[in-house]
Amino acid sequence: MAFAIPIRKRVLPGFGLSLGISLFFVSLVLLLPVTGLVMQTADMGWGRFWQVVTDPRVVASYKVTLTAALIASLFNGVFGLLMAWILVRYDFWGKRLLDGLVDLPFALPTAVAGIALSALYAQSGWYGGFFEFFGVQVAYTPVGIMVAMAFTSVPFVVRTVQPVLEDLPLEDEEAASTLGASGSQIFRRIVLPAIWPAWVTGMALAFTRSLGEFGAIIFIAGNMPYVSEVTSLMIFVRLQEYDYAAASAIAAVILLASLTLLLSINIWQARFLRRLHGR
Amino acid sequence: MQHSRGIGQTPWVRLTLISVGVVFSVLFLLAPVVFIFQRALESGVGFYVQTLLDPYTRHAIMLTLLVAVVTIPVNLIFGVALAWLVTRFEFTGRKVLMTLIDIPFAVSPVVAGLLYLLLYGNQGWIGSWLDDRDIQLMFAWPGLIMVTIFVTCPFVARELIPLMQQQGTSEEEAGLTLGASGWQVFRHITLPNVRWALLYGVILTNARAMGEFGAVSVISGSIRGQTNTLALHVELLAQDFNIVAAFVSASLLAFLALVTLVAKSLIEWRETRRQQQEEQTA
């Protein structure tokens, strides 16, 4: 097997030990569990598989999940860019606190975020009444799913754009400004071309995370069939019916989708990193 | 001063952008946490303490701690070994390995739970074998630990890899040349260099291990006093319409999140100060 043959002569010790531990762990924890899913779905046959994953209720859940994740990621694209910008370019009182606050959605357990958001955006909560005034019901509707997804994926765009913005040489902007370019021209012609690969990466990561989010959503979604069920929840529904095969089929769809996204993001990042470093 | 240069420095642009960012962050990010503590304490401190002393809550706390205590060392060893492997050696399959460890971050935790249920549940090929020997992993505490290890395994490695790549191997090679053993080099050179990243990786692992919901809810069965972790306890209480008690349990986890954030800020602050000192001495 071609795997794990060192290309360069090794100077440091520990290759065998660290390879052994890593491969053992990856096989046991990450790869072995997939065999159960493969066997379960292989058993059910193509016809049944197709029937399960195109069931109208499941298809409705794809639509809800994809739409909500898309809107939540676009929201984070705007909000994340703004946050990255003010954290890098301006000095103001409380900046460190604001910077720490950005990581809160990663630190806060999703179930805790879920129960807090659902109570806040319910009609009786602090925000529910406000939105009700404009005729928008957030909690227990697809809008609530978007809020939960947006909340849990806030850090992605900020944390991918921030370092790129920090490394951006200010001289280019100054030169453009000396030559008479306006602020918005400089932003579109100089800043945006430099940050957009990171910006897109951040939104793609936020999107991937939103597709898989569960804990925060089930509290606020209301989980009405055909209306506000996300695909992760459909696995649960099938499990409660003791239909392990159907649960596996839906899981296989989610797994394939997220692996495709993960690979695309990695390839995308590698391409731009090479270009940046001129390799 | 660097910050007064570049575009967007007109006072009104500055003020508008900062205000929008701050107001939004406070309303959207901070308010939910404040709300949790307000709801948790709304029936008074007496009720708060009494709820925490409830046997089921106490059991949930202990189980959550147990899961974290087992998960951390396992993922610490794996994270260090993997980081050492991919940053110190070039080999075929290195990229594949680095993509593989991102899987737990990309996959829905519910799918993660299901994978384990299908394999180790009594219908799975390992599970049925174990079932014949009266060993039950799913719907029991070992299963909780197994899925938690899955969802938290990338954290330590993810923190270590960029740092170890950046630091390079020259110090370690010098140590070897001077006659130190591989183990000595690791303990006296590598570990001190990466200790803060390692600590941060552990903090993240801990936060996620204690707060994990999706994966554990698939394989837990949420049996009160048996397989109910704190995060699951929050859901169970909310389903019982015991909302204040749910917020009391949630406040413990929210407090953990705040501690995590403070620790992160401290580590970052130390790191920037160290870099500044190095620049000054250089």
Residues in chain B where the model's pLDDT stays below 70: 1-4, 282
Q: What is the pLDDT of residues A9-49, one digit of tens each?
A: 567 888 999 999 999 999 999 999 999 899 888 888 899 99
Which of B18, B84, B261 lies nearest to residue A103, judging by beta carbons?
A: B261
Distance in angstroms (rounded) separating the CA atoms of residues B272 and B278: 10
Q: Where are the domains of chain B?
A: 1-40, 45-281
At A2, the pLDDT band (50, 70, 90 cuts) reads very low
Q: What is the pLDDT of residue A275?
A: 58
Give residue for tokens 């920037």: B272
Chain A to chain B, count of Cβ pairs less than 8 Å apart?
A: 302
The tokens for B162 are: 């960029």
What are the phi and psi torsion angles at A123 (to 5°)? -55, -35
**Ramachandran area for residue B100 (φ above 0: left; ψ -120 to 50: alpha; else beta):** alpha
What is the ipTM, given to two decimal places? Answer: 0.90
In this structure, are residues B197 and B220 in contact, taking their beta carbons and an 8 Å threshold?
no
Q: Is A204's pLDDT higher than 70?
A: yes
The tokens for B80 are: 């260090």
Q: How many angstroms separate the most distant Cα atoms in chain B?
A: 74
B112 CB neighbour count, 10 Å cutoff = 27
Mean pLDDT, residues A52-75 taken together? 96
- What is the CATH architecture assignment of B45-281? Orthogonal Bundle (1.10)
CB atoms B89 and A6 under 8 Å: yes
**Three-class SS of residue A141?**
coil
Chain A contacts in chain B segment 71-110 (CB below 8 A): 77-78, 81-82, 84-85, 88-93, 97, 99-110
Taking CA–CA distances from B184, the nearest residue in chain A reads: A13
Is A258 near chain B, with CB under 8 Å? yes
Which positions ≥6 away from A258 have C-beta within 8 Å?
A208, A211, A212, B106, B107, B108, B111
At A279, the pLDDT band (50, 70, 90 cuts) reads very low
In whole angstroms, how far apart are CA B54 and each of A206, B50, B124, B159?
38, 6, 36, 38
Q: What is the pLDDT of residues A151-163, one digit of tens each?
A: 999 999 999 999 9
At A278, the pLDDT band (50, 70, 90 cuts) reads very low
Q: What is the pLDDT of residues A131-157, one digit of tens each?
A: 888 888 888 899 999 999 999 999 999
For chain A, the average pLDDT equals 89
**Three-class SS of residue A6?**
strand
Distance in angstroms (rounded) separating the CA atoms of residues A193 and A201: 14
Helices (H), B10-124: 11-25, 31-40, 44-53, 55-88, 94-100, 103-106, 109-120
Q: What is the pLDDT of residue A168?
A: 86
Q: What is the pLDDT of residue A274?
A: 62
**Three-class SS of residue B200?**
helix
Is A22 near chain B, with CB under 8 Å? yes
Q: Is A276's pLDDT higher than 70?
A: no
Is B168 near chain A, with CB under 8 Å? no
Distance in angstroms (rounded) separating the CA atoms of residues B211 and B109: 12
Q: What is the pLDDT of residue A176?
A: 86
- State the smallest CA–CA distance between residue B36 and chain A in angstroms: 6
Distance in angstroms (rounded) separating the CA atoms of residues B127 and B104: 22
Distance in angstroms (rounded) separating the CA atoms of residues A66 and B229: 30
Give residue for tokens 């946050």: A83
Mean pLDDT, residues A252-276 taken together? 84
Chain B contacts in chain A segment 29-68 (CB below 8 A): 29-37, 39-40
Is A151 near chain B, with CB under 8 Å? yes
Distance in angstroms (rounded) separating the CA atoms of residues A39 and A249: 11
* Cβ-Cβ contacts under 8 Å, A29 against chain B: 78, 149-150, 153
Q: Is A221's pLDDT higher than 60?
A: yes
Mean pLDDT, residues A98-124 taken together? 93
Q: What is the pLDDT of residue A75?
A: 97
Q: What is the pLDDT of residue A182?
A: 83
